[in-house]
């Protein structure tokens, strides 16, 4: 489970007329921190048509006033624009660089460079204070993290621009790919055996998702390649924007418009249905791991499969961030793919309300807060739990929390409640599957809105602004141009055909 330290970016300032009347932001809790299966493709509104429409999804946001809990892959639009205008760098040979640019190489690089057939960039702009006598020629710190000097190269192709975040697994850098003239995100795994092993699992999960999603519509982050460099496993990802927790911060943790919540709900459910069909467990679904594709888009993707596993394969006993941890995990019971549905249900509530529905300070408190909303767990779950003595005494909670059934009071929107009540269920065997949730009228209405917007775009050739009635404080201006396909019932559910 990845716990990032996020590096701040400049806040986005909006005109005051979009911000609504001033309100006192809610207080933030001090403890908030924290194979191959072929899937049928959408047969009606083809992704190829969707991708060519001139969608301009707009998100008008408030300034972020707090530091996010985890890393994401933010997008610097201005820098990206400048870099994309640069011509592609022609490759050179290592022998050429040695002959004409030897002074720009470290002693170790003078030998290393000959192992690479194509050289696009060799860190000629970087200061390289590496010590060849130190661990891994001075490229690593004592933890096995790659030090990574800004403007230096990775694999004689990628130029390190900035560090986006770091966690127990390693670091994520924003980088420029000189071979393709694009910005990417590089995940550099720590040079330790156990992180290598889990990194290899993550690569296999991402490759499985990619192979079964040929047109890139699964709403999962795309890993374009992976390789080893200087004893580190490195994954190359598409560049994305802010995560949904950062988006909530921009609204001062007041919550998002219900229509925007539904846009994110349809897409994340779509992603989980892919992983569900492929027997893949994500195991760390939370707002920080759902990223918006671009600052002006409502399309989102799930990232960070580093805690994941294939069903029935070894997985850690300590998984999921606490606020989103499924009860079977807390109770020490066997678990599977259903834990992701629980986590996503928690995320939906948080997107609407702005704060977590279950914000426990520890696992005992976490279980107590769940009981306060959903009542006591089934008796058979308590009896089977190897940890029942920690949480219960004579059938009552040790924590002192008072069990109650008040989920409806916590989720005021009736449409969202209609799906969350199927997701936040104690017994994982009775918890709704992704494709079952997507059959709800509330989600179906969102799908119909998408199809109607596509028809308008096809007919008028220009994006149409959307009016948002809910919660005027948020003033979210969006379009419905989200390019994804909807997968249900282990197959697909067709959107209404154009013209009907």
- The residues pairing with 281 across neighbouring beta strands, listed in sequence order, are 309
Report how far residue 228's alpha carbon sits from residue 246's, in angstroms, rounded to the nearest whole number.
32
96-127 in b/e burial notation, b at 16+ Cβ within 10 A?
ebbeeeeeebbebbeebbeebeebbbbbeebe
Sequence-separated (6 or more) residues with CB below 8 Å from residue 393: none
Q: Are 385 and 330 in contact (CB under 8 A)?
A: no
DSSP secondary structure of 2-61:
---EEPP-PPPP--GGGT-S--PPPPPPTT------PPPPPSSS-HHHHHHS--------
The neighbour count for residue 352, using CB atoms within 10 Å, is 24
Report how far residue 90's alpha carbon sits from residue 179's, in angstroms, rounded to the nearest whole number.
7
End-to-end CA distance of the chain: 46
Nearest to 320 by CA among 349, 293, 285: 285
Report how far residue 379's alpha carbon sits from residue 385's, in angstroms, rounded to the nearest whole number.
10
Q: Are 257 and 246 in contact (CB under 8 A)?
A: no
Give the residue numbers of the binding site for ATP. Answer: 187
Instruction: Give CA separation, 294 vs 120, 239, 251, 256, 447, in Å.
Output: 27, 9, 18, 18, 21
Sequence-separated (6 or more) residues with CB below 8 Å from residue 236: 158, 177, 184, 185, 186, 223, 224, 225, 226
Nearest to 414 by CA among 441, 388, 453: 441
What's the token pair of residue 211? 């192979």
Sequence-separated (6 or more) residues with CB below 8 Å from residue 85: none
Active site residues: 284
Report how far residue 459's alpha carbon sits from residue 102's, in angstroms, rounded to the nearest whole number.
59
Report how far residue 294's alpha carbon sits from residue 131's, in angstroms, rounded to the nearest whole number.
39
Give the residue numbers of the binding site. Answer: 187
Report how far residue 115's alpha carbon sits from residue 356's, in angstroms, rounded to the nearest whole number.
50
């Amino acid at each position: 489970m990845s716990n990032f330290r996020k590096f701040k970016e400049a806040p986005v300032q909006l005109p005051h007329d979009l911000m609504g009347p001033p309100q006192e932001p809610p207080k933030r809790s001090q403890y908030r921190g924290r194979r191959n299966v072929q899937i049928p493709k959408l047969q009606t509104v083809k992704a190829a048509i969707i991708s060519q429409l001139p969608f301009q999804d707009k998100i008008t946001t408030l300034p972020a006033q707090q530091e996010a809990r985890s890393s994401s892959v933010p997008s610097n639009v201005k820098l990206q624009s400048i870099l994309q205008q640069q011509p592609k760098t022609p490759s050179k040979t290592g022998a050429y660089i040695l002959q004409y640019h030897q002074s720009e190489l470290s002693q170790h690089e003078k030998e290393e460079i000959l192992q690479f057939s194509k050289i696009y960039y060799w860190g000629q702009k970087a200061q390289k204070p590496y010590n060849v006598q130190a661990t891994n020629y001075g490229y690593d710190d004592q933890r096995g993290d790659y030090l990574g000097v800004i403007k230096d190269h990775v694999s004689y192709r990628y130029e390190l621009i900035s560090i986006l975040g770091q966690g127990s697994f390693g670091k994520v850098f924003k980088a420029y790919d000189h071979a393709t003239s694009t910005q990417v995100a590089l995940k550099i795994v720590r040079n330790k055996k156990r992180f290598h092993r889990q990194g290899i699992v993550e690569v296999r999960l991402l490759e499985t998702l990619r192979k079964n999603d040929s047109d890139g519509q699964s709403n999962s982050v795309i890993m374009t390649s992976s390789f080893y460099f200087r004893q580190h496993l490195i994954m190359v990802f598409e560049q994305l924007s802010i995560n949904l927790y950062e988006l909530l911060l921009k609204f001062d943790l007041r919550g998002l418009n219900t229509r925007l919540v539904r846009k994110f709900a349809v897409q994340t459910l779509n992603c989980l249905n892919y992983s569900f069909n492929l027997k893949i467990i994500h195991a760390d679904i939370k707002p920080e791991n759902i990223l918006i594709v671009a600052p002006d888009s409502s399309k989102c993707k799930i990232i960070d499969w580093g805690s994941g596993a294939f069903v029935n394969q070894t997985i850690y006993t300590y998984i999921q961030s606490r606020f989103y941890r499924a009860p079977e995990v807390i109770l020490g019971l066997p678990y599977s793919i259903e834990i992701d549905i629980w986590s996503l249900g928690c995320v939906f509530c948080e997107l609407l309300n702005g704060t977590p529905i279950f914000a426990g300070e520890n696992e005992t408190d976490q279980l107590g807060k769940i009981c306060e909303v959903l009542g006591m767990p089934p008796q058979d779950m308590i009896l089977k739990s190897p940890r029942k003595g920690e949480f219960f005494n004579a059938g009552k909670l040790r924590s002192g929390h008072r069990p109650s059934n008040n989920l409806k009071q916590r989720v005021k929107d009736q449409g969202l409640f209609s799906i969350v009540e199927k997701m936040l269920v104690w017994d994982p065997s009775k918890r709704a599957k992704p494709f079952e949730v997507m059959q709800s009228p509330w989600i179906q209405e969102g799908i119909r809105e998408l199809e109607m917007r596509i028809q308008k775009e096809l007919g008028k050739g220009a994006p149409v602004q959307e009016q948002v009635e809910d919660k005027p404080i948020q003033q979210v201006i969006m379009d419905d141009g989200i390019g994804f396909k909807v997968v249900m019932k282990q197959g697909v559910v067709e959107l209404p055909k154009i013209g009907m």
